[in-house]
Amino acid sequence: MSTETTKQKVDVRDLEKGMYVSELDRPWIESPFIFQGFLITGDNELSQLTQTCKYVYVDIEKSKVEVPHRVVVAPSIKREQFHKKKAPVISIAFENELSRAKSIHTEAIATVSEILLDLRSGKLFKVEHIKNTVIEITGSIMRNPDAMMLLNHIDAKGDHFAKHALNVCILSCALARYMGMEKEELYELGLGALLHDVGETRLPEHILNKQDNYSAEELVLMQNHTTQGAEILSKLKGIPDSVINIAQSHHERANGSGYPNHLANENIDRLTKIVSITDVYDLVTTGTTREPAVTSTDALKSMYDWRDELFDGALVELFIQSLGIYPIGSTVLLNSGEVGIVISANIEHRLTPTLMLVLDKDQKPYQPVLIINLSQYKKGEDKKYEIKAVVQPEDYGIDKTSYIMRELYMN
């Protein structure tokens, strides 16, 4: 179902308390606001808007006060409305879930690697085996998603393609959990995300590992992996249609520029839209044989710019909200000069996550590392810690995997 919202472009000097800001004049990630879409309730928000923007778009219907009609009404974007339910309460502390999540993560890599090996040799795999793996993954994410999200950042042993499949599965299920998705649908999403690229097992190895541009013939062959994947999954008993759809259509794009069928946004199902987002995010943040990795900040800025054109805009915004400004596993530089790794985040304190400080102000390793919760440091003269930027760990000589594994075995 699609709806239209009436948005009006308003100069920030004309903003008042009670107006609902639905969009800024810049990517929200470049602003101090955690969410795009909020009701102005105080002078602090008015001041921040005045300092950050020249104009914003105000939703007339959601505003509690009358919106002045001194400027033209902005054209609205038709979007499918996803009614986000309340996410489940965290049932297990991060440090208590981490060891269990590591066992699940290790077993999942082994299982998916084995499946891909079987498919490359022309064999089909046991559906029950992979289903049990997805049940374990989704169970951990439901208890506390931070543990699995952190493990996405380790250089796990096993098939590179299996690692990507697991990353996409974890990211997709974490978003679904944030959206309050029902357990059965979340499970189907996890299964589809884990198997979304099985069609690549039908491709020659030199195509998969090619480091420069594809020829026209190679591009057709590469793009055919989606149809090949759907064909593989359709031969297996017990695979839901939604999972087959994900394999078939995860490279479709909202503006119809994707493949294999050039479907427009309204013709792509919700689970497939989620995997298309998490698939691209994982690829650009981990890097490929053709492109180096970028920071989570740069990736989210780009994906925000691509919303509505390449991806479902509402889902992109929910994805960014679910990850937070500083996603789990990000390497961050503090105003003090220290460098840390984000190991946990609180949905109510997205700008102040829990960090593992690994380098001191002189860029020397902490021995041992320090764990600090930035939410304990409030704004004011006594404020000590503030994140300055998201950085690449290799730029600071940080082996993120070794630090994460150290944290794992310390708990």
What pLDDT, on a 0 to 100 scale, did the predictor assign at position 144? 93
Q: Would you give the end-to-end CA distance of the chain in angstroms? A: 46
Mean pLDDT for the chain overall: 86
CATH 1.10.3210.10 segments of the chain: 94-323
What pLDDT, on a 0 to 100 scale, did the predictor assign at position 76? 46
Question: Taking residues 192-213, what's their average pLDDT?
Answer: 88
What pLDDT, on a 0 to 100 scale, did the predictor assign at position 30? 63
* Digit-coded pLDDT (tens) for 113-138: 999 999 999 998 889 889 999 999 99
Pick the CATH number of 94-323 from 3.90.700.10, 1.10.3210.10, 3.30.499.10, 3.30.67.10: 1.10.3210.10
What pLDDT, on a 0 to 100 scale, did the predictor assign at position 106? 93
What pLDDT, on a 0 to 100 scale, did the predictor assign at position 82? 63
Whether 26 has a pLDDT exceeding 80, the answer reads no
Among candidate residues 234, 257, 256, 258, the one with its CA nearest the CA of residue 245 = 234
pLDDT band at 81 (very low <50, low <70, confident <90, very high): low
Q: Higher confidence at residue 190 or residue 214? A: 190
Taking the C-alpha atoms of residue 42 and residue 21, their distance in angstroms, rounded to an integer, is 13
Percentage of the residues of the chain whose pLDDT score is greater than 70? 88
Question: Taking residues 273-290, what's their average pLDDT?
Answer: 91
Instruction: Confirm if 41 and 33 have CB atoms less than 8 A apart.
Output: no
What pLDDT, on a 0 to 100 scale, did the predictor assign at position 290? 74
pTM of the full predicted structure? 0.79
Instruction: Confirm if 285 and 299 have CB atoms less than 8 A apart.
Output: yes
Whether 385 has a pLDDT exceeding 60, the answer reads yes
What pLDDT, on a 0 to 100 scale, did the predictor assign at position 1? 35
Tell me the range of 27-41, 184-198, 349-363, 364-378 where mean pLDDT is highest: 184-198
Whether 89 has a pLDDT exceeding 50, the answer reads yes
Q: Higher confidence at residue 262 or residue 403? A: 262
What pLDDT, on a 0 to 100 scale, did the predictor assign at position 75? 46
Instruction: Confirm if 174 and 148 have CB atoms less than 8 A apart.
Output: yes
Please state whether beta strands 349-359 and 339-346 pair in parallel, antiparallel, or not at all (unpaired). antiparallel
pLDDT band at 2 (very low <50, low <70, confident <90, very high): very low
Q: In what order do the strands lie in the sheet with 331-334?
A: 365-373, 349-359, 339-346, 331-334, 387-391
Taking the C-alpha atoms of residue 37 and residue 82, their distance in angstroms, rounded to an integer, is 14
